[in-house]
Amino acid sequence: MDKENQVIDGSFVLSARKALGMSQGDFAAAAGVDRTTINTLESGLRQPQAAVVAKIERLLRGHGLMQIPWTPEEAALLDNFRSMTKNGQSCLLGVAKEMKKKERKPKTEITGNGPEAAPD
């Protein structure tokens, strides 16, 4: 199994799980995801969400099976995050969660007649 430049998709998850000698349930539990998530990934029914990729990557890195290269921006964020105090990390995670929520909501603009959708 090539440890560099791997994309986590269903066939990769299946290969990695078999290389570890784990059942879907054991692999899912070790990664911290539901067994049905591993099943749907391996069967090709869906691509993993970022949070699932991070959990699987953490598991595989722990077993020395892979290293996903970070973009320079991701590496800088991770380096900065790791150098923060626990309080700073907690604050940053809170800000990131709020930013994610705001990206999902339509923008609104307050006018004299109440909120209206803002033009993009």
**pLDDT given for residue 109 in this prediction:** 52
Q: For residues 85 and 108, what is the distance between their CA atoms, to the nearest angstrom? A: 35
Q: What is the DSSP letter of 45?
A: S
Residues 105-115 pLDDT 10s: 665 555 555 55
Task: Give me the residues of the chain with pLDDT under 70, please.
Answer: 1-7, 67-70, 105-120
Which letter, b or e, does each residue of 3-29 get, where b requires 16 or more Cβ atoms within 10 Å of its Cβ?
Answer: eeebebebebbbebbeeeebebeebbe
- What is the CATH number that goes with domain 10-62? 1.10.260.40
- Each domain of the chain, given as residue ranges in start order, spans 10-62, 70-103
Q: For residues 103 and 41, what is the distance between their CA atoms, to the nearest angstrom? A: 26
pLDDT more than 70, % of the chain:
77
